[in-house]
Amino acid sequence: MKPRRGKLTTVLVVEDEPTVRVLAESIIETLGYVILSAANAREAIALLEQEEHIDILFTDINLPDGPDAIDGLALARKAVELSPDLRVIYTTGNGQTNGMTALFVKAATFLPKPYTVRQLTEAVAPNGTSSLLIETPAKVTGVSVPKARSRYREMHHLR
């Protein structure tokens, strides 16, 4: 994705599971994008209201955060109200349903969990920057990409 006015592309990652969030952040950051991170919709909305420009919202659909929590579907609708040019990528481990798809914002992408590094890379950077990711693994917040991948596989019973 080409950044506006020569600025780097900014991606807001919204994921309640810390290990999955760190893994997604590290993959996307390796692509050369600026990362903003939120553990729930309230944090994400605060960032959307504060930041000058966010290009991509990558959000989990299920965002448990107490009785007044909003999910990723409602978050995306609010985010697009605040920033109409925002590109949205939804993710969930519960599978995609027709009812869910009807609630997607226009031109959104769906990435089912568990996703691979390549699938996330192609969803975020559809114009082919995936070779950057495979050749240059990164460390983010003290958790190595291989360790985060291992935790992710354990959480989703993959081997």
Model confidence over 53-92: pLDDT tens digits?
899 999 999 998 888 889 999 999 999 999 999 999 999 9
pLDDT band of 143, cuts 50, 70, 90: very low
pLDDT band of 142, cuts 50, 70, 90: very low
How far apart CA 61 and CA 88 sit, in angstroms, is 11
- Mean pLDDT throughout 46-55? 91
Peptide bond into 3 cis (omega under 30): no
Question: pLDDT at residue 155 above 50?
Answer: yes
Residue 110, C-beta contacts closer than 8 angstroms, at least 6 positions apart: 89, 90, 91, 96, 101, 104
**Three-state secondary structure string covering 114-128:** CCCHHHHHHHHCCCC
Residue among 123, 122, 61 at smallest CA distance from 91? 61
pLDDT of residue 102: 81
Q: 25-29, 30-34, 93-97: which has the minimum mean pLDDT?
A: 93-97
Secondary structure letter of residue 45 according to DSSP = H
pLDDT of residue 149: 54
Question: pLDDT at residue 153 above 60?
Answer: no
pTM: 0.77
Let me know: does 114 contact 12? Beta carbons within 8 Å.
no
Domain assignments of the chain as residue spans, ordered by start: 4-155
Q: E strand or H helix at 19, and its extent? A: helix 18-30
* CATH (one of 3.40.50.2300, 3.40.50.720, 1.20.200.10, 3.90.700.10) for 4-155: 3.40.50.2300
Distances, alpha carbon 154 to alpha carbons 78, 82, 106, 144, in Å: 33, 37, 34, 15
- What end-to-end distance do the CA atoms of the chain give, in Å? 32
Let me know: does 11 contact 37? Beta carbons within 8 Å.
no
